[in-house]
Structure 1
Amino acid sequence: MSEQLPASRGRVLIVEPSSSGVALLAEAHALGFETVVATADVDDRRLPDAARTHVDRLVVVDTNDEQALAEVAAALHAERPLAGIVPGFEFYVDTVARLAPALGLPGLRADTARGLRNKATMRRLVEAAGLRVPRHAEATDERELLAAAAHVGYPAVLKPTESAGSIHVSRVDSPEQLLAAFRSLRADHRTDLGRVLDGPVLLEEYLDGPEVSVEGYVENGRAVVLAVTTKMLGPEPYFVELGQIMPHPAAPEARAAIDAYVAGVCEALGVTRGPFHCELRLPAGEPVLIELGARLAGHRIPNLVEAVTGISQVRIMLAGYTGLTAEEVGAESAPTAKYVGIACFTAYGLTRYQHIEGLDELRDHPDTLEVKLYVRPGEPIPPAEDFRCFLGHVVYKAESYEDAATRWHAVRDEVRFV
């Protein structure tokens, strides 16, 4: 965590903090904000117990009901003015962009925020700016989907237009695979933060090349790239992110091309403040957009960024949504590692496990920074199709990219779930 600053910042409303967004609570307190949280506080929107110590006031509201959330925010602001309203997860980025102007608070542009959540809109805006995006088409039923495939071609990637965590993102190589993947998506009635997958889908061309993400922020209209991250993906047809290594090795000209492309994407999508997490494929070395989120990345990536750069994207997000600068919130400190990685634990083929081998040795390794488990022995393990299959993770440091990559493969081999 960055340095503690004086308590004199007013109060901030954080909407449904989840994943990396939970870190906003502790940092808001460290910055001297009075922290108000709006949350449904039920099921997968329940605020973690450990985070509640940093909450000054918890307001229970259906955060997926924008009108109800707007009424809560307006009442809080009338009671005592808020310094800012901050989305605690990707699903609420566009919601907050619409709420902030009504309260006279800093925020993203309400007229462009839709493109930050809807992947089809996102591609249209970026393509209109003259930047390459995957060939793509939207569909709502099987007839439209087959017509989309005639435009996109095979292989292709099917995905929901509004989701996260690689849920139901899959490669398809034929009409039969396409229809099977679509029917599987439509038959999945599980929710993600209370939302179901009942909207349009996007079909786009498969880009053959390495995948990276770009972490940064926008301040005073300028996009600042902090780091490029190598994404370690599981076996296709799915695109499960099994971990990351940072920083990604790139020649100066390749890095310059990535930075310029991402700055163009931010401008096209109206990202005017706060952090971003931009996912790219690099076919033949050329950066091509997968998606951009104007929010904190998941997978502990903000922690990796801070370790190798000393920059807190969490503090930058709080600054952007309260009208402060990165300097004013003490977002910069000294790096603590040259290279870092995170490896997520999976157990392909198992529906449950009874015990773990190699975990104590991993915890005792001098390069290990953090080990966490999410699934306990005997609990069901979801299929290895998206982030829900993760059993836990390890974060570690290394002296070189090569060492970090070797360590990534080693820890996944050394820790065994049986």
Structure 2
Amino acid sequence: MSIKTVAFVEPSFYGVSFARVAYEQGHNVISIVSSTENPQKYGYEGIYHDLIVTDIRDEEALYQAIQASPYAGKLDALIPATDYASHLTARVAERLGLRGIPYEAALKARNKDLARQAYAEHGVPGAKFKKVKTYEEALAASEEIGFPVVLKPTNAASSQNVYFIHSETDLKAAFDIIVEFKVTYMDFKVRDEYLIEEYLEGPEFSVELFLSEGVPLFQTVTEKLTSPLPYFVELVHTLPTPSYTEQEEDLIRAAVDALHAIGIVNGPSHVEVKLTPSGPRIIEVNGRPGGDNISSDLLVQAFGIDIFEATVNYYLNRPIEIGKKHERAAAIAYVTADQEGLFESIDGFAALQAHPQVVRTHLIAQPGDAVAVAKSSDDRLGYFITTAETPQEAKQLALQLLSNLQVVYRQQEAGIA
């Protein structure tokens, strides 16, 4: 296999797996970053060959930095490795004549209002919605759609500032908070336009897909368990789904239709869906592999599939192999706090490493960290991953082990306020 020069725009979270795969394939890996501190911060130190530092929030800066680098005219692929820069990366890739998701499709995937409009135009089942800027508009939209509703930013992620709204009082309190949410990860700006959406009743899933000219080369459904309302924090993922398996095809069909509606017909995707009494309804589309260890761990454990390797090969216009090597199951469970306080430890967490069906544990919180009931994915304290022969076993083991863990809070020292 010939060595190619592959550039990634700001590897982070799921994107670190991209850099690792390309590095292990022997390619020349270039990371385009906003700070030289980011490889250490996001965990990809040692799996790249060179850095280009620029303002990744600006299309022209990104383009000019590449053109001014030793890699001008020499890149074989430019791959978005963070959600926030995905549309900018797509635009620059088009300017450089490189393969990728079309800019308009990436833009719709990044902006939930544009995606909702596309679903509506193409008859894809979603949620009733209104885009709003002011509290007055939000109240009018909520009354038109009918409480309960969901208030969310148009271009954030990880359930940041997503609110379940029961009443006008809830709405006022949440809107006062959301208008102060100006900047998200990596200093990307949060738009001052918000969505009021119909609250969709029903169990939640994500559909993991890899399309080739609109047709799935690979497809599976992940079941999600989320935190109690009013928050939407994902706590357990099981792949493949242990429940509602008779409606898997309906979920997959809805996900593929949503991708087609926004213009994604090639490459990996992660589509979030609720199975309502009237059938599948789309929550959102992501034109990249699923995060939260779904792609980096659960797909590998359950099926032996490396979707990141397939994606790098797609961007390099190489043959894609994405067949299942085996059929098992895996689940990931997240530990969260049940109160405000200072974190000390998770009782029983260290012992999980010795469990024969636990393949990975990771502690996120550090002793002394201020913690509270989780409002977004950022508030989770740690996770562990289970494997089993069936999805039901993987899920039940994860839930059982999770129930045995106890978050320990640091005691305040006497005389200290």
Q: TM-score, normalised by structure 2?
A: 0.92
Q: Return the alpha-carbon distance in structure 2 between the equivalents of residues 68 and 368 of structure 1.
A: 44
Q: Cα distance, 1:400 vs. partner?
A: 2.6
Q: Of residues 3, 15, 18 in structure 1, which corresponds to 2:12?
A: 18
**Over residues 136-169 of structure 1, what are the superposed CA-to-partner deviations in whole Å (9 max), with x where a residue is unaligned?**
0000111111121132111111110101101111
SS at match of 2:202: coil
Q: Return the alpha-carbon distance in structure 1 between the equivalents of residues 210 and 68 of structure 2.
A: 31
Q: Aligned ranges for residues 78-157 of structure 1 at < 5 Å?
A: 79-157=72-150
- 1:377: which partner in 2? 367
Q: Return the alpha-carbon distance in structure 1 between the equivalents of residues 158 and 348 of structure 2.
A: 27
SS at match of 1:352: strand
Q: Aligned ranges for residues 16-415 of structure 1 at < 5 Å?
A: 16-41=10-35, 45=38, 47-48=40-41, 50-76=43-69, 79-188=72-181, 191-249=184-242, 254-284=247-277, 286-302=279-295, 303-327=297-321, 331-332=322-323, 334-335=325-326, 338-381=328-371, 383-415=373-405
- 1:3: which partner in 2? none
**CA separation of 1:106 and 1:200: change in aligned 2, threshold 3 A:** same
2:20 corresponds to which letter in structure 1? A
Residues 214 and 229 of structure 1 are in contact (CA less than 8 Å); yes or no, is this contact kept in structure 2? yes
**CA separation of 1:352 and 1:68: change in aligned 2, threshold 3 A:** same
2:23 corresponds to which letter in structure 1? H
**Please, which moves more after superposition, 131-140 or 342-351?**
342-351
Q: Cα distance, 1:76 vs. partner?
A: 3.9
Q: Cα distance, 1:356 vs. partner?
A: 2.8
**CA separation of 1:340 and 1:13: change in aligned 2, threshold 3 A:** same
SS at match of 2:385: strand
1:409 corresponds to which letter in structure 2? L
1:304 corresponds to which letter in structure 2? L
Q: Cα distance, 1:316 vs. partner?
A: 2.0
Moved beyond 6 Å, runs of 4+: none
What is the RMSD computed on CA atoms of the aligned residues?
Answer: 2.0
Unaligned segments of structure 2, at least 5 residues: 409-417
Residues 186 and 197 of structure 1 are in contact (CA less than 8 Å); yes or no, is this contact kept in structure 2? no
Residues 148 and 167 of structure 2 are in contact (CA less than 8 Å); yes or no, is this contact kept in structure 1? yes
Q: Return the alpha-carbon distance in structure 2 between the equivalents of residues 127 and 325 of structure 1.
A: 35
SS at match of 1:388: helix
Q: Return the alpha-carbon distance in structure 2 between the equivalents of residues 52 and 248 of structure 1.
A: 34
**Over residues 311-331 of structure 1, what are the superposed CA-to-partner deviations in whole Å (9 max), with x where a residue is unaligned?**
21111221222222313xxx5
SS at match of 1:353: strand
**CA separation of 1:206 and 1:42: change in aligned 2, threshold 3 A:** farther
**CA separation of 1:318 and 1:76: change in aligned 2, threshold 3 A:** farther
SS at match of 1:371: strand
Q: Return the alpha-carbon distance in structure 2 between the equivalents of residues 251 and 388 of structure 1.
A: 29
**What number of residue pairs does the alignment pair up?**
407
Q: Cα distance, 1:301 vs. partner?
A: 0.5
**Over residues 77-131 of structure 1, what are the superposed CA-to-partner deviations in whole Å (9 max), with x where a residue is unaligned?**
7645111100001112211111111101001112333211111110111121112
Q: Cα distance, 1:285 vs. partner?
A: 6.1
Q: Return the alpha-carbon distance in structure 1 between the equivalents of residues 15 and 201 of structure 2.
A: 32
**CA separation of 1:174 and 1:42: change in aligned 2, threshold 3 A:** farther
Residues 5 and 27 of structure 2 are in contact (CA less than 8 Å); yes or no, is this contact kept in structure 1? yes
Residues 213 and 230 of structure 1 are in contact (CA less than 8 Å); yes or no, is this contact kept in structure 2? yes
1:149 corresponds to which letter in structure 2? S
Q: Cα distance, 1:72 vs. partner?
A: 1.4
**Over residues 154-197 of structure 1, what are the superposed CA-to-partner deviations in whole Å (9 max), with x where a residue is unaligned?**
11111101011011112101111112111112234563221243
SS at match of 1:116: helix
SS at match of 2:31: strand
**CA separation of 1:47 and 1:210: change in aligned 2, threshold 3 A:** same
Residues 39 and 47 of structure 1 are in contact (CA less than 8 Å); yes or no, is this contact kept in structure 2? no
Residues 158 and 201 of structure 1 are in contact (CA less than 8 Å); yes or no, is this contact kept in structure 2? yes
**CA separation of 1:312 and 1:157: change in aligned 2, threshold 3 A:** same
Q: Cα distance, 1:74 vs. partner?
A: 2.7
SS at match of 2:384: strand
1:103 corresponds to which letter in structure 2? L
Percent identity (aligned): 28
Q: Return the alpha-carbon distance in structure 1 between the equivalents of residues 56 and 133 of structure 2.
A: 26
